[in-house]
């Protein structure tokens, strides 16, 4: 990977691209804690229900954040007519593609960090029970990794379609789909990248299998889209 | 003769429309090459192919003797470009925009300040570009194209949207480039008058085909001069000249007569001897007129 390109991409980011994962992470924390209190008081005395609530809400948050981040980052490039400028720089096109993708990944991981640190903080402040730390980390970061295939699809759509309304609509539909796909009994539906985030929770016995599937799919989609980007005509 | 840019049979089709048709472009080293053509002629499409933004349907491109797109990076390292509208990140300052590119190209911070000075944006360097006027944005675009002192500069209608003063300024800058950076400049335009003032070489593209390519001087030679003569008795002179077989027009008491050689001019003066001549003016046909003659197009280029 080319470090210069990576730094340049970072400096182009709008302030909102950095704040968005932080804010959406905090929003998720707020809703999770509210739900947790609600359940805790009503029908359970199990504090650990916090992790069930997180499991319910996390994919949706990841999907929406990823969609908006991608559209903002790629949209900036369309808006500024920047593609023809970066693509006439003496760098392999593939490196330019990966530099942008890596930034999306970094921003998604920032969201994960915010959620992870937030839960740790809330847990230690409000309870005196042991925190299942490795479970928490797996829950959050497996989900983000499992989201990567969808992120690549969003990335592709955002580059291909200048008008970001369509990729954003697809992203929202995808977010809704992700909520329901893992609930169906038709197992072949699980193969769709939109299912993975719901399938990699450490709650589920074969979550590691689905984690491997998502990583495989990530690599496959990255190769396909990078090949496409390499040959794309900039009209 | 060594060519910085050389294409053979360069062709690009969009669907079944051929936008660039078997173009053999030859841009000599150190020239300012004016790439002329009316709207939709295929200028932008050609330049985008040279820069590797579009792939040709057929034909080959050689820049610095290297093949595009096979040796894309080696070519782009020494090429600067501004295609259609300038690229800029509106939320960043002019300085930051340039700094990002200079760092990408591994240049010093000094080069940013130098180029800002060259395009006279130093005063506005710290303002976000979205607050710039059109002309300032255009100058920023040219600065980005020039920041690495490229051996080849490709400009697609760089004076679009500029006022006369801005156009003059850019024109002067472009004229300096061959001496300043040893650059070769390939500049497209749909205005003959503009190209006429800066170009050393011209290529004219029409409906995707290159219909003329040579030195500016050669194009100038196609302009046969016209003599405008004012006389005391224009009517009589008019009749006499007509009688002697001249192609003569009369307008506002003055006659206009096209002449193709100095011999012909001498003969004309002889024939006009009997009439007292008040003034004589020699004018050349404008490039527009030649162009219209060649392409059979009206005034709206
Ligand atoms: N992406 C595209 N898809 C289809 N047709 C295209 C595309 N880009 C250009 N064309 C067609 O190719 C022809 C040449 O276009 P081009 O933009 O190269 O012209 P131009 O000489 O740059 O004109 P202008 O002076 O208006 O900028 C036009 O007829 C245009 O309609
Ligand atoms: Mg054009």
Long-range contacts of range A171-174, CB-CB < 8 Å, 24 or more positions apart? A171/A63, A171/A64, A171/A66, A171/A67, A171/A68, A171/A70, A171/A71, A172/A64, A172/A67, A174/A63, A174/A67, A174/A150
Torsion of CA B172, B177, B180, B182, to 10 degrees: -160
Neighbours of B51 (CB within 10 A): 24
Confidence at residue B234, expressed as pLDDT on a 0 to 100 scale: 87
Whole-number percent of chain A with pLDDT over 70: 99
pLDDT value at A7 more than 80: yes
Confidence at residue B180, expressed as pLDDT on a 0 to 100 scale: 87
State the DSSP string of A110-160: HHHHHHHHHHHHHHHHH--SPP-HHHHHHHHHHHHHHHHHHHHHHHHHHHH
- Residue of chain B whose Cα is closest to the Cα of A12: B89
Contact at CB, A88 and B79, closer than 8 angstroms? yes
Residue B273 burial by Cβ neighbours in a 10 Å radius (0-12, 13-18, 19+): exposed
Q: Which of B73, B84, B103 sits opposite A4 (nearest CB)?
A: B103
Residue A46 burial by Cβ neighbours in a 10 Å radius (0-12, 13-18, 19+): exposed
* Residue among B11, B19, B206 to mutate when testing ligand 1 (max atoms within 8 A of CB): B19
Question: What are A18-68's pLDDT values in tens digits?
Answer: 999 999 999 999 999 998 888 777 766 788 888 888 988 999 999 999 999
Contact at CB, A92 and B73, closer than 8 angstroms? yes
Residue that is written with structure tokens 């470009």 in the block:
B81
- The answer to whether residue A78 neighbours chain B at the CB level (below 8 Å) is no
Neighbours of B165 (CB within 10 A): 9
Residue that is written with structure tokens 């219909």 in the block:
B211
Confidence at residue B141, expressed as pLDDT on a 0 to 100 scale: 94
Token pair in block for residue B65:
């003797």
Q: What is the predicted ipTM?
A: 0.86
State the DSSP string of A170-219: HHHHHHHHHHHGGG-S-GGGGGSGGGHHHH--TTSTTHHHHHHHHHHHHH
Cα torsion A66, A68, A71, A77: sign = negative
Question: What are A185-232's pLDDT values in tens digits?
Answer: 887 888 899 999 988 988 888 999 999 999 999 999 999 999 999 999
Confidence at residue B300, expressed as pLDDT on a 0 to 100 scale: 44
Going by CA atoms, what residue is nearest to atom 17 of ligand 1?
A: B44
Confidence at residue B286, expressed as pLDDT on a 0 to 100 scale: 67
Nearest CA to CA, how far is B50 from chain A (Å)? 10
Phi-psi region for residue B275, left (φ > 0), alpha (ψ -120 to 50) or beta?
Answer: beta
CA distance A3 to A72: 22
CB pairs under 8 A between A and B: 69
**E strand or H helix at A80:** none
Confidence at residue B287, expressed as pLDDT on a 0 to 100 scale: 62
Q: Which residues contact A205 (CB under 8 A, 6 or more apart)?
A: none
**Cα B108 vs. chain centroid, distance in angstroms?**
32
Question: What are B87-112's pLDDT values in tens digits?
Answer: 999 999 999 999 999 999 999 999 99
Pairing of strands B201-206, B32-36: parallel
Low-confidence ranges of chain B (pLDDT < 70): 1, 285-288, 290-291, 295-301
Residue B30 burial by Cβ neighbours in a 10 Å radius (0-12, 13-18, 19+): middle
Confidence at residue B17, expressed as pLDDT on a 0 to 100 scale: 94
Q: Contact, B26 vs B52, CB < 8 A?
A: no
Confidence at residue B299, expressed as pLDDT on a 0 to 100 scale: 43
Confidence at residue A146, expressed as pLDDT on a 0 to 100 scale: 96
User: How many residues appear in chain B?
Assistant: 301
- Name which residue leads in pLDDT, B226 or A133: A133
Ligand 2: centre distance to CA B10 (Å): 17
């Amino acid at each position: 990977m080319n470090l210069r390109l990576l730094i340049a991409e970072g400096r182009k980011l709008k302030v909102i691209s950095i704040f968005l994962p932080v804010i959406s992470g905090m929003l998720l924390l707020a809703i999770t804690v509210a739900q947790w209190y609600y359940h805790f008081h009503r029908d359970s005395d199990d504090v650990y229900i916090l992790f069930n609530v997180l499991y319910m809400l996390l994919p949706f948050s990841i999907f929406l954040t990823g969609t908006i981040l991608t559209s903002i980052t790629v949209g900036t490039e369309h808006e500024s007519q920047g593609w023809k400028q970066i693509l006439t720089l003496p760098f392999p096109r593939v490196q330019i593609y990966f530099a942008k993708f890596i930034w999306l990944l970094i921003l998604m991981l920032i969201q994960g960090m915010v959620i992870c640190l937030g839960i740790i903080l809330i847990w230690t402040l409000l309870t005196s029970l042991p925190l299942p730390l490795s479970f928490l980390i797996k829950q959050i970061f497996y989900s983000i990794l499992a989201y990567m295939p969808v992120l690549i699809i969003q990335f592709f759509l955002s580059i291909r379609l200048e008008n970001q309304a369509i990729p954003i609509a697809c992203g929202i539909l995808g977010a809704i789909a992700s909520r329901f796909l893992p609930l169906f009994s038709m197992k072949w539906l699980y193969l769709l990248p939109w299912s993975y985030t719901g399938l990699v929770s450490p709650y589920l016995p074969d979550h590691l299998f689905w984690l491997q599937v998502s990583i495989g799919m990530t690599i496959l989609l990255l190769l396909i889209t990078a090949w496409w980007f390499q040959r794309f005509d900039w009209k | 003769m060594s060519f910085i840019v050389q294409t053979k049979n360069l062709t690009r089709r969009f669907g079944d429309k051929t936008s660039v048709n078997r173009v053999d472009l030859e841009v000599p080293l150190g020239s300012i090459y004016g790439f002329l053509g009316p709207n939709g002629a295929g200028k932008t499409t050609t330049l985008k192919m040279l820069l590797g933004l579009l792939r040709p349907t057929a034909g080959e491109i050689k820049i610095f003797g290297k093949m595009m797109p096979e040796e894309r990076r080696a070519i782009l390292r020494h090429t600067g470009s501004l295609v259609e509208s300038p690229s800029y990140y509106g939320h960043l300052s002019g300085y930051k925009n340039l700094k990002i590119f200079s760092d990408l190209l591994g240049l010093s911070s000094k080069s940013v300040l130098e180029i800002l000075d060259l395009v006279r944006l130093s005063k506005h360097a710290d303002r976000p570009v979205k607050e710039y006027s059109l002309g300032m944005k255009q100058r920023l675009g040219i600065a980005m194209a020039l920041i690495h002192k490229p051996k080849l500069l490709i400009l697609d209608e760089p004076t679009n949207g500029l006022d006369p003063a801005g156009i003059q300024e850019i024109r002067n800058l472009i004229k300096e480039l061959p001496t300043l950076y040893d650059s070769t400049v390939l500049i497209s335009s749909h205005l003959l008058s503009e190209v006429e003032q800066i170009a050393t070489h011209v290529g004219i593209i029409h409906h995707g085909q290159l219909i003329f390519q040579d030195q500016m001087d050669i194009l100038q030679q196609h302009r046969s001069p016209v003599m405008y003569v004012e006389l005391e008795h224009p009517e009589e002179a008019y009749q006499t000249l007509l009688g002697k077989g001249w192609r003569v027009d009369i307008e506002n008491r003055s006659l206009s007569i096209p002449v193709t050689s100095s011999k012909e001019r001498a003969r004309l003066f002889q024939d006009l001897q009997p009439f007292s001549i008040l003034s004589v003016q020699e004018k050349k046909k404008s490039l527009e007129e030649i162009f219209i003659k060649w392409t059979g197009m009206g005034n709206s280029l």
